[in-house]
A and B are shown apart, each in its own frame.
Chain A
């Protein structure tokens, strides 16, 4: 039972302690609940740092394993198996960081049913962390599906006017993808002599592919089943229809987590499962994925530009941004994949920041229509500067984090052997222009120009200390990754190399 005290177990399940404590706090004592949740999240963040401190950056393999034969009956081998490597450690840290930030951001935004909100949020953190750590497909699936439940409630209870519709849509879309993955997981486990353990699968699969026990067609079908599930989550064009609804209706903290972490679960799934488990299919599919990614980049950017709702614009921008991530992943070279992983983190930071900021102003104005805004810079200068940083980070301005990711992705995709054509990257590069178009539109309509309705009708206050503190970590990382990304790349590099060396390219 020592697995219970290992760092990764603690990172994953520590929030449950908070849930437990909050469950016994009177629902009326809102501040006590908030503090408990925040302290729990911060403690989890610290634990994740502690785990990170033990992480060996030079080791390409899974580390800090917490392993326990969970279900062992006859021909069943299911492990409680958490481990981390260079592909996931950053995402774990991102998750714990954004969770703490989101809880802080919900301090004054959520006034109703605070107790339930915090409980759901901490549960969500458990699920998300678990997704990034699980190394047994069964366990992964459990975490994967579990994240839906708290998020469903967060959208459905604290969301906007169409929250129930959006929550259900979010739930069903994601679920629709994952059920096929469930079947694929089972099939894979059954074929590979009843194991769901990813390292074991990786050891056994080559032989199964070679012997024809899993035919190329079957491999492709498995790839598609996994891919569908992850692609909906990402979301890749054209499976993105749930995203604007979910984002627009979700409360700020929900949007932050949704964009910051939940979407990454999709791209992470590709990285962790699709690529290594189905190498041949991956290579076959790479140009097609690149095509979809490219369409997504351009389409998402174009659609963003035509939105009248600020949050919707940012929501659609995720389609575009994650298109970049997908493009990088399926470049299947060190540049592209490293860039894609870094870009996952970047998108979490910058889009997270955008949603946070929009939420902060929404708390005061209660409108998200561009037509109501204008000239905010004068009224809220600190807010404007924060937004400026977030917008340009999202746009990929060199020196900020977004650029490092986007550049390496595009560079990788441009010369990718798997994609085998520079055209995808070439067209995707146009996304850089379109990103400037819609993001500057956002900035302009909110902060520049003559004073909008919100200024004349409300007495707007600039960000308070809590809000600034909420933003600071994001801003720090935005600059850090932009200016000195080497440590981050160093974390990724061995694992990425290992991942790619296994591909028959």
Chain B
């Protein structure tokens, strides 16, 4: 059986990739995806730990996360569409009229 540590390490790497993705990508959609990646990294960790502890709660959490992520995406895409309608692009660096 593969040690849980490998899963956790993988999830940590995925999480980091996601986090750095948020920092480095300019396309709003890709930023979304990076965030999804972070959430899914967490899910991976949850599932892995759930197996270690032999409980369901980890998996349940993962389901909740998936469901909520979907809701978030729905809202997020709506916002992106609004932004696109008004600015004709989805570059988050252009969303900077508010500052200071």
The answer to A–B direct touch (Cβ < 8 A) is no
Q: Which B residues fall within an 8 A CB radius of A? A: none
